[in-house]
């Protein structure tokens, strides 16, 4: 079945450490997105990519970095510059073009905590 | 920038009854899409229903329907014959009809179903 796979499900970060969250999709979708979810809040956009080797900052990009070397993959690195990384991270994808309300499809998320 | 507001942090309803979740949004665009997503305790994001702004007819999906009031910028979700499995966080989301198809989310409403 097609879908989005996020790994790991749980991740712990030590002070000063960079960690990378994986997101892979086999839906042949063009666009991919990373969202952060804090308790009691909605999802906020970190980064997004519409095409391979291109990506744009979202609303809360500071302390994060991404790459898009393959259409299927959009990993997110949480750097040591992100001082409050504890959150639930969701990856999403959607096809581009065409008319109509194309929804975003979401992975199951990664919970990141500070050690 | 577009904003989405869900003014009800929590709602509860008796099983088999009807409940309405509120959502308002702010935009200067005329071409856009609106979505309701459900997030159960498993934290998966599940699409409930979608609405194109250019369509006057309210969207319906089985027990779920919306009341889309474009002039008032209101997009409420009605759940009929509530079931225990409907218990979840519900998020309203806005997407521009132009550009990268980013979603802007509201803060969410936690729905409890009382047996």
The pLDDT value given to residue A112: 95
Q: Which of B9, B50, B108 is nearest residue A103 as measured by Cβ atoms?
A: B50
* Distance of residue A5 Cα from the nearest chain B Cα, in angstroms: 12
Among chain B residues, CA nearest to A42:
B107
Nearest chain B Cα distance for residue A115, angstroms: 22
d(CA B19, CA B111): 9
Arithmetic mean of pLDDT, A87-100: 86
Residues of chain B positioned with their CB less than 8 A from the CB of A104 = 101, 103
User: DSSP string of chain A?
Assistant: ---EEEE-SEEEE-TT--EEEEEEE-S--SEEEEEEE-TTS-EEEEEEEEETTEEEE-TT-TTEEE--SBTTB--EEE-TT-S---EEEEEEEE--SSSS-PPPEE---EEEEE-
pLDDT of residue A15: 83
Residues 6+ apart with CB under 8 A from A70: A52
Cβ-based neighbours of A102, under 8 Å, separated by 6 or more: A94, A95, B101
Lowest mean pLDDT among A36-40, B6-10, B17-21, B62-66: A36-40
Burial class (CB in 10 A: 0-12, 13-18, 19+), B72: exposed
pLDDT (tens digit per residue) in A54-90: 999 999 999 999 999 999 999 999 998 888 999 999 9
Q: Are A76 and A59 in contact (CB under 8 A)?
A: no
Tens digit of pLDDT for each residue in B33-78? 999 999 999 999 999 999 999 998 999 999 999 999 999 999 999 9
Give the residue on B whose Cα is nearest the Cα of A108: B44
B95–A42: do the CB atoms touch at under 8 Å?
Answer: no
Q: Does A38 touch chain B (CB under 8 A)?
A: no
Q: Is B104 helix (H, G, I), strand (E, B) or coil?
A: strand
Give the closest of A41, A44, A100 to B52, CB-based: A100
Determine contact: A27 vs chain B, CB below 8 A.
no
Res A96 pLDDT > 90 = no
Using the predicted structure, report yes or no on whether residue A27 has a pLDDT greater than 80: yes
Radius of gyration of chain A (CA): 14
User: A28 is written with which tokens?
Assistant: 């042949």
Rounded to the nearest angstrom, the minimum Cα separation between A54 and chain B is 12
The span from the CA of A107 to the CA of A3, in Å, is 7
Provide, as residue numbers in chain B, all residues whose Cβ is less than 8 Å from the Cβ of A108: 42-44
Chain B residue numbers with beta carbons less than 8 Å from the beta carbon of A50 are: 100
């Amino acid at each position: 079945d097609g879908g989005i796979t996020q790994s790991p499900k749980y991740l712990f970060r030590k002070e000063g450490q960079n960690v990378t969250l994986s997101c892979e999709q086999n839906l042949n979708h063009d666009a991919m997105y990373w969202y952060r979810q804090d308790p009691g809040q909605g999802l906020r956009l970190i980064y997004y990519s519409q095409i391979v080797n291109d990506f744009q900052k979202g609303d809360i990009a500071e302390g994060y970095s991404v790459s898009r070397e393959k259409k299927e993959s959009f990993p997110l690195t949480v750097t040591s510059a992100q001082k409050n990384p504890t959150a639930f991270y969701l990856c999403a994808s959607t096809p581009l073009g065409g008319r109509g309300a194309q929804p975003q499809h979401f992975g199951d998320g990664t919970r990141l905590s500070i050690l | 920038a577009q904003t989405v507001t869900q003014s009800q942090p929590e709602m509860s309803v008796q099983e088999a009854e009807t409940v309405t979740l509120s959502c308002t949004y702010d935009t200067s665009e005329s071409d856009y899409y609106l979505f309701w997503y459900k997030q159960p305790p498993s934290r998966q994001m599940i699409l409930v229903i979608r609405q194109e702004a250019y369509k006057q007819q309210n969207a319906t999906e089985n027990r779920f329907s919306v009341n889309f009031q474009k002039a008032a910028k209101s997009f409420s979700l009605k759940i009929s014959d509530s079931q225990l499995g409907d218990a979840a966080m519900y998020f309203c989301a806005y997407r521009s009809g132009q550009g990268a198809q980013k979603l802007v989310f509201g803060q969410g409403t936690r729905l409890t179903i009382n047996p």
